[in-house]
Amino acid sequence: MKIDLTETTSSKINQALVSARRAIGTPAIGMVLTLVIVTDEENAYDALKSAGDASREHPSRIIAVIKRVSRSPRSRRDARLDAEVRVGSDAGTGETVVLRLHGELANHAQSVVLPLLLPDAPVVVWWPEGAPADPAKDPLGALAQRRITDAYSAEHPGEELATRADSYTPGDTDLAWTRITPWRSMLAASLDQQSAQVVSAMVEGESENPSCELLAMWLADRLKVPVERTVSAGPGLTAVRMETKNGVIVLDRPDGSLATLSMQGQPDRAVALKRRETAELLAEELRRLDPDNTYAATVKFGVAKLAGQAAPTSAEPAAAAAPAAAKKTAAKKAASK
């Protein structure tokens, strides 16, 4: 069921929600949280679809905030709120409210969203793209217990990770981090089977994929070893190699779907590591509303530190080769004499 409201208010939207629930015969509210999506018209459809799919696991009131661009000074002065209310089969297992904010109202979205939040329920804010530099200080982000961004959608993912590290507040997380959960689980399980100490590691993947950087930083932070970041054609993460004192552990996924785990003294094993849809990533993040301390430690490790860490490892062979080259030159001179 869909209800369109033009030049409306938050009070009228709440009334429409109650009327719609009664009309379809479900007056009781069985939702566990409010998910606020801050997006634009271009990305609204995909974001709402992903949120609707995730609501089948987490029944939610989904509020999409779309700030409409005003093209003229007059339209920028005129504040107007249009809304679309969806319940029943049109809204997954919860309710969906699409808000379109025009003019000056776009700068005060929190005043519209606040009356629509479910009482006594957690609030999660998700920016599919264009996240603020400091989500916790954003007016909408300040309403939430959890704030979800996605560095993958940024023009410069590496810089975006640095921004996320500088502004981190407990409750922040990023879908680029969520994408590597299966990789982290598989690598941790492989180390449980291999008791030898890890001495170095290598992470291979696309050049503009922040998940690769996060996985490399996670390994460097947790194992306290140098981690090399190498570039491949993708898709996404393609391989992780860990050098241990008992041999090499390799997790290789060349096709974005099926991976192979190779360990010293054991047969190769096929592992399902399919690249997941946004709805699956979002559902995973909605399972926990407490701060993710592991993500905090990883993102604060820093891309710059990771790059600086790799530099000495590549310079060491050159430094070691220099004296050998000098000796070889001296030997040639002596022989010519």
Residues 291-337 have pLDDT tens digits of 999 999 999 998 888 776 654 433 333 333 334 444 444 444 444 44
pLDDT at position 28, please? 55
**What DSSP element (H or E) covers 124?**
strand 123-126
pLDDT at position 309, please? 67
pLDDT at position 68, please? 82
What does 256-286 look like in DSSP terms, one character per residue?
A: SSEEEEE-TTS--EEEE-PPPPHHHHHHHHH
Residues 262-303 have pLDDT tens digits of 998 889 999 989 999 999 999 999 998 899 999 999 999 988
pTM of the model: 0.85
Residue ranges, the chain, pLDDT below 50: 311-337
Rounded Cα–Cα distance for residues 152 and 208 (Å): 8
What does 47-88 look like in DSSP terms, one character per residue?
A: HHHHHHHHTTTS-EEEEEEEEPPP-SHHHHH--EEEEEEEEG
The sheet with strand 60-67 has its strands ordered as 2-5, 80-87, 95-102, 60-67, 33-39, 123-126, 146-149, 172-174
Instruction: Name residue 87's beta-bridge partners.
Output: 95
Rounded Cα–Cα distance for residues 252 and 275 (Å): 14
Rounded Cα–Cα distance for residues 197 and 247 (Å): 10
